């Protein structure tokens, strides 16, 4: 089993000149929150090298601006991260862009290996190339059009890929004007400048298809991606512009459309319907604090629990509507959209909700985007949604008076 690895070119010694950590610092300052990028970098390095990511690039992108893709790949290589590159997967004018990509990688000093899709042991060849420090290029251009995504699925399953990034000139899917798509009166999708922010295949696909919110090319692409997720439920797919590749890999918000399989959320009425020990472990590891003994005695209204105990929302009876007392997503699952799934499950059942969070809570910015109003007092911020104006003052007082269930861990 052999393959030619193309020379590193003009940057043959770049890894000896600067350490990966120095490049990471530069990178973190360029794409967003340091905390997000450090988390994803650590996560990717814990995975087998070949499971890091598969990047599929539209042929038009490679024909017009291969250098923009190569620059991002060059940065990844400096962090010892080598994705598998897929060309010819998406229909486009002319050839697959394979020659342009190979030329750009060589020009930028990025080691690469060509893998013939369908040859004997082709997935093992791709895995070995990445293990030796090279990006594998798999060209699907000669594969029958109807079989390309089936072959890609075979590759994703074989490598155990966690992240698929589809690069298109147009970026994400759907409309580009900021706002939202209302699939039902209580089911909305947020739209940013790069398209729909998140698509949950379990909850959104049928309504998106029925509502004709996507053009035929995008609808077909989303259908193909859905088939990939059926075979690899753990997969996260990002559809973005090549200029936003690094943001898609290393930030929670991203800059395109995130497609996820969707979480299985259980709606429970109390702690006696779940594994309380696992719930406590989720809360304590997420918040890095200890639960007080009184927590188990609190009256609950509903518990929304991700089936694998990776996220939870706990509601208690409120003076108006429901009080959201705990909202947590396991750190390893952050970025998969579980928080959004939990939040939407809560809002489907509760039109009036209020909650509080400490001012230093890293989710505060997200909370502000989801609330109707916010009040700051001391170390707390109180948020509300769907609360009548005449009762806001009462809910604020009630939220501030609630006992604390999480305390600092004594070391």
Would you state the pLDDT for residue 15?
38
Note whether residue 45 is domain-resident: yes
Supply angle C-alpha 257, 47, 96, rounded to 5: 50
| Most trustworthy range by pLDDT among 139-143, 323-327, 342-346 | 323-327
Would you state the pLDDT for residue 10?
39
Measured over the CA atoms of residue 292, residue 296, residue 298 and residue 301, the dihedral's sign is positive
What is d(CA 408, CA 387) in angstroms, rounded to the nearest whole number?
32
Position 21 pLDDT exceeds 60: no
Residue range 156-164: mean pLDDT, rounded: 94
Beta pairing, strands 302-306 & 265-268: antiparallel
What is d(CA 368, CA 325) in angstroms, rounded to the nearest whole number?
17
Same domain, 206 and 285: no
Would you state the pLDDT for residue 295?
96
Note whether residue 1 is domain-resident: no
Same domain, 241 and 292: no
Note whether residue 347 is domain-resident: yes
Phi, psi of 64 (to 5 degrees): -95, -40
What is d(CA 171, CA 57) in angstroms, rounded to the nearest whole number?
11
For residue 31, what are the CA distances in angstroms to 38, 59, 250? 11, 26, 8
Residue ranges of alpha helices (H) inside 233-305 are: 245-250, 276-287
More confident residue, 254 or 255: 255
Same domain, 217 and 238: yes
Would you state the pLDDT for residue 143?
84
Note whether residue 4 is domain-resident: no
Taking only the tens place, the pLDDT of each residue in 74-119 is 988 888 889 999 999 886 555 788 999 999 999 999 999 999 998 8
Overall domain count for the chain: 2
Would you state the pLDDT for residue 92?
57
Report the CATH number that the domain containing residue 222 is assigned in CATH.
3.40.1160.10
Note whether residue 2 is domain-resident: no
Same domain, 283 and 403: yes
Same domain, 256 and 284: no
Choosing from 212, 241, 260, the residue where a domain stops is 260
Would you state the pLDDT for residue 187?
76
Choice among 13-27, 54-68, 88-102, 287-301 with the minimum mean pLDDT? 13-27
Same domain, 227 and 288: no
Would you state the pLDDT for residue 179?
85
Which residues have C-beta within 8 Å of that of residue 49, sequence separation ≥ 6? 82, 130, 131
pLDDT band at 19 (very low <50, low <70, confident <90, very high): low
Position 283 pLDDT exceeds 60: yes
Position 17 pLDDT exceeds 50: no
Give the domain extent around 304.
Answer: 265-408
Would you state the pLDDT for residue 250?
79
Position 9 pLDDT exceeds 90: no
Taking only the tens place, the pLDDT of each residue in 266-276 is 999 999 999 99
């Amino acid at each position: 089993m052999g393959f030619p690895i193309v020379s590193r070119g003009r940057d043959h010694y770049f890894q000896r000149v600067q350490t990966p950590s120095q490049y990471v610092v530069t990178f973190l300052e360029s794409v967003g929150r340091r905390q997000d990028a450090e988390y994803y970098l650590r996560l990717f390095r814990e995975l087998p090298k070949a499971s890091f990511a598969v990047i599929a690039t539209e042929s038009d992108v490679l024909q017009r601006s291969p250098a923009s893709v190569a620059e991002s790949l060059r940065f990844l290589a400096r962090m010892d991260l080598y994705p598998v590159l897929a060309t010819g997967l998406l229909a486009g004018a002319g050839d697959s862009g394979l020659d342009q990509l190979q030329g750009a990688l060589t020009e930028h000093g990025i080691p690469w290996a060509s893998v013939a899709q369908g040859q004997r042991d082709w997935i093992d060849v791709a895995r070995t190339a990445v293990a030796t420090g090279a990006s594998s290029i798999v060209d699907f251009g000669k594969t029958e059009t109807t079989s390309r995504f089936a072959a890609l699925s075979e590759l994703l399953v074989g490598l155990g890929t966690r992240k698929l990034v589809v690069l298109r000139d147009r970026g994400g899917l759907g409309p580009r004007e900021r706002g939202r798509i209302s699939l039902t009166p209580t089911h909305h999708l947020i739209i940013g400048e790069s398209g729909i922010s998140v698509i949950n295949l379990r909850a959104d696909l049928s309504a998106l298809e029925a509502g004709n919110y996507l053009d035929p090319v995008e609808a077909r692409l989303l259908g193909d991606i859905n088939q990939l997720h059926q075979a690899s439920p753990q997969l996260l797919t990002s559809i973005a512009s090549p200029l936003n590749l690094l943001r898609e890999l290393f930030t929670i918000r991203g800059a395109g459309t995130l497609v996820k399989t969707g979480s299985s959320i259980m709606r429970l009425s109390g702690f006696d319907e779940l594994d309380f020990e696992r719930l406590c472990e989720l809360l304590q590891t997420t918040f890095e604090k200890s639960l007080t003994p009184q927590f188990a005695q609190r009256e609950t209204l509903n518990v929304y629990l991700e089936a694998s105990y990776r996220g939870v929302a706990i509601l208690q009876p409120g003076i108006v509507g429901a009080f959201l007392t705990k909202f947590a997503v396991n750190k390893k699952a952050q970025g998969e959209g579980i928080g959004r799934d939990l939040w939407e499950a809560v809002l489907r059942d509760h039109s009036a909700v209020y909650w509080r969070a400490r001012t230093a809570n890293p989710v505060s910015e997200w909370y502000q985007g989801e609330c109707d109003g916010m009040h700051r007092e001391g170390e707390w911020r109180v948020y509300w949604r769907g609360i009548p104006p005449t009762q806001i003052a009462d809910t604020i007082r009630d939220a501030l008076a609630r006992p604390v269930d999480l305390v600092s861990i004594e070391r």
